[in-house]
Amino acid sequence: MDGINILVAEDNIVNQVFIKEVLEDLEVEYEIVSNGEEAVEAVKAKTYDLIMMDCLMPVMDGFEATRTIKGLISNGDIKPLPICALTANAMKGDREKCLAAGMDDYLSKPVRKKELTNKIMSLLKLSTEAGQSDVDANGHVQEEGTAKVDEPPVQLQDVDDEPLLDEDAVANARSILKDKYSGMVEVYITNSWERVEEIEKAIGDLDVEAAIRPAHTLKSTSKQMGALKLSDVAKELEYCAKAMHKDEEAEDVSMDSLSGYLNQIRDLLARTKKAFEEQAE
C-alpha cells in the first residue's frame, strides 16, 4: 500500500497503539493526533487519503471535527477524502449521528485487525476507483452499501456470570500487539486506575458530566484488552451518568447508582489485574 497516508484521530493511548500496530503491518504511512482540533490542523497542513476519526475526544470531538473538515472540502480548501468513525458505542442513533456529521462509514471498537484492515481497504478502494467524479463536493464516497451499523437497545447488563478475561478478545490483543502485549497490559492497568480516580472525583463533586468521559475510556480500553466484565460495568456507569446529565430527575439512576458501579469497578479492576498476572505466569 505504497503512497497511502492515513490520519488517525484518537485520544486513547491504548487504542492508539492497537491501531498503530495494524497500520504498520499494512505498511501505510500514518499520523496519529489526540483530538479533533489537531485533526483539522493536520488536514490543512498535509494531504491524506483517509481519516479514521474517534467520536468522543477532548478539545473538539470527532463530530465537530468532521463537520469542519467537510466544510474545508466544500470550500475547495482541501481535497475530498473519506472519514470513517471509530466509536466504542453501539447505541441506537449512533449511525445517524455519524452520517449527519458527514462521516462516510463507521467502525465499532474494539479494534480487530481483520475488520480494520477490511474497512481501510474498502474505503481506499472506493475513493481510488471512484476518482474525483464519484466523490461529491462534501467528500462523501458515492457508493451504495455503506456499512450498516448494529443498533442494539441500551440496557443495563447482568455481568455476574461473565469471565474476567475473554479468551477471544485476549487472543485478538495478543495477535495485534505481539511482543508489546505485556507492556500494554501494564499501561492499561495504570490508565484504568487513573480513570477510576477521575470518576471518584466527579462523583464527589456531584458532577455527573465529568464522569462520562473516564467511564467511556474505561469501557473502551477494557473491551480492547479483553476485560469484558469490567467493560460492561463501565458501560453501565457511563449510561447512568449520561442519563442523569440529560435529565437530573431520571428514573432509576442516582449518585448512589454511580457510586455502586464505581465500587464494582474498583473490585473488578483489582481482580482483573490479578487475572492478567496469573495469565502471564
Dump strand ranges (E) for the chain.
5-9, 29-33, 50-54, 83-87, 105-108
Q: Report the pLDDT value the prediction gives residue 111, as an integer from 0 to 100.
A: 93
Q: pLDDT tens, 1-57?
A: 778 999 999 999 999 999 999 999 999 999 999 999 999 999 999 999 999 999 999
| Non-local CB neighbours of 56 within 8 Å, separated by 6+ positions | 62, 87, 88, 213, 216
**CATH architecture label of 5-134:** 3-Layer(aba) Sandwich (3.40)
Q: Is 148 helix (H, G, I), strand (E, B) or coil?
A: coil
Element (H, E) at 74: helix 62-74
Residues 94, 74: Cα–Cα separation, whole Å = 24
Does the CA dihedral 94-209-67-223 come out positive or negative? negative
| 243 CB-side CA count, 13 A | 18
* CATH entry, 167-280, from 1.20.1440.230, 1.20.120.160, 2.70.170.10, 3.40.50.300: 1.20.120.160
pLDDT greater than 80 at residue 143: no
- Per domain, the residue ranges of the chain are 5-134, 167-280
Percent of the chain with pLDDT over 70: 84
Q: Report the pLDDT value the prediction gives residue 94, as an integer from 0 to 100.
A: 74
Selected residue with higher pLDDT from 254 and 173: 173
Q: Count CB-CB contacts under 10 A for residue 121.
A: 12
Kindly report the pTM of this predicted structure: 0.83
Q: pLDDT tens, 232-246?
A: 999 999 999 998 988
Percent of the chain with pLDDT over 90: 73
Selected residue with higher pLDDT from 115 and 251: 115
Mean pLDDT of the chain: 87
For residue 108, what are the β-bridge partners? Answer: 87
| Non-local CB neighbours of 149 within 8 Å, separated by 6+ positions | 90, 94, 95, 98, 106, 108
Q: Report the pLDDT value the prediction gives residue 271, as an integer from 0 to 100.
A: 98
